[in-house]
Amino acid sequence: MKTLKNKMIWVISGLLVTGLSSCYEKFDPESYAPSVTIGGFTASNEIAAANLVAHFPFDGDYTDAVSKTAGVNTGTAFTNGLKGQAMRGAKSGYVLFDPTPAILGLKSFTMTYWVNSPSTTAAGGIIGLVGLSQKDGFWGNVETFFENGGTGNDGIFKAHIQNDTLDTWVSKEGIVNLYNSWTHLALSYDAASSTFSIYVNGSKTATATVAKFGNLKWKNPGKMVFGTVQFQTTPSLTTSSKGESWASYLTGMLDEVRIYNVALKDSEVDALVKLESRGK
């Protein structure tokens, strides 16, 4: 009888423990961890949210997350990116996108993206990154690329900007460890001061003021292109060139392309880099 009572006590105790434990969720340390706050933001999409006019995360598609419209792919693919997936370029590969009215109406702007690319030496020419084409100009309204003249590790970032009948170049030379690792690049233009800025991994590395450049007005704009410069597509996006032997394609990776209709503050660019690098 005593043995039977002991067994019954153990069974009842076990049921009580099971019942009590089922009343509580499993402890998850991450759910109790404080949110990461950088520059007053907890996620990259919070930064200048009202001014974000295009965002291409390349998470399994070529869609702009703002307008919900898709680009057209030629030869590129998807791979693990810095944040989610990324576009993997290829020789003769690129993506085209019809710019939205918000992009066509930019007066000031900031363009940001992450890139992981082989060197121009390995590619055999300049490496086109992101741009807005100009249908009858040799260079696009916005043309960003890695320029020849660097080394296997260090490189040059260059950008051409067309403003109606005016145009200008901005560049940053001697970017250390630019190739074969993730680098964040940002190009901004403030129309009020006619000033361009280049940021590398969140730090402002170059500025240029162009007298009386003023509000932007694109000249005969065409499609946006990701992964090469405008004259290397098939057919070419411009009547001024059908391709050049010294120009090439991004065979590396491109991720988290964003376009804003303002020149972001230094602190906002810094926060964007730090949050995106944490997957936020």
Domain that holds residue 159: 29-277
Question: Residue 165 domain-assigned?
Answer: yes
Question: Residue 116 domain-assigned?
Answer: yes
State the pLDDT at residue 152.
80
Question: Residue 2 domain-assigned?
Answer: no
Question: Residue 203 domain-assigned?
Answer: yes
The number of distinct structural domains making up the chain is 1
Question: Residue 24 domain-assigned?
Answer: no
Question: Residue 22 domain-assigned?
Answer: no
Question: Residue 14 domain-assigned?
Answer: no
Residue pLDDT tens, the chain, 280 long: 444 444 444 444 444 444 444 444 444 544 444 567 898 899 999 999 999 999 999 999 999 999 999 999 999 999 999 999 999 999 999 999 999 999 999 999 999 999 999 999 888 889 999 999 999 999 999 999 999 987 788 999 999 999 999 999 999 999 999 999 999 999 999 999 999 999 999 999 999 999 999 999 999 999 999 999 999 999 999 999 999 999 999 999 999 999 999 999 999 999 999 999 999 9
Question: Residue 222 domain-assigned?
Answer: yes
Domain at 89, CATH number: 2.60.120.200
* CA 215/CA 106 separation, integer angstroms: 8
